[in-house]
Amino acid sequence: MKVLIGSDHAGYKLKVEVFNYLKKNGYDIEDVGTYSEESCDYVDFAKKVAFGVSRGDAERGILICGSGIGMSIVANKFPGVRAALCTSEYHARKSRQDNNSNILTMGGRVTTFEIAKLIVDAWFNTEYAGGRHQRRLDKIYNIEKENFR
């Protein structure tokens, strides 16, 4: 599975830790930036990851900014992207199980690396349940068809 990861300056430290953790555990992960704690715009990196996932260059993505909110907002502007801001293992499991999320967002200023590892593990190890949840995803897909032309 190909995974893209990106952050802004506020998420940089946590991004590096998560990248190294996933690389060590055998994930095919590509870091699209930023590459320092120098101030930058989260939008630019959310766009890179979300575009890659939307277009099928990667199956999943991870985005980290200060709160995780901005990254989530940007990523969800792309067709086929279901970005979920997760602050706990529960959120990570439910975002995959019920919503088949394909981009995980986290807040570097509010999430410790220990918590991030739990979130990431839950997110990667939870399968989409399908069933009744597919009806809801189909409705989301129909909204995208109506609004992304």
Active-site residue, from 53, 65, 84, 122: 65
CA dist list (Å): 104 to 41, 88, 95, 149: 18, 12, 9, 25
HSE (CB half, 13 Å, CA atoms) of 29? 21
86 has catalytic annotation: no
Distance from C-alpha of 43 to C-alpha of 45, rounded to nearest angstrom: 6
Active site residues per annotation: 65
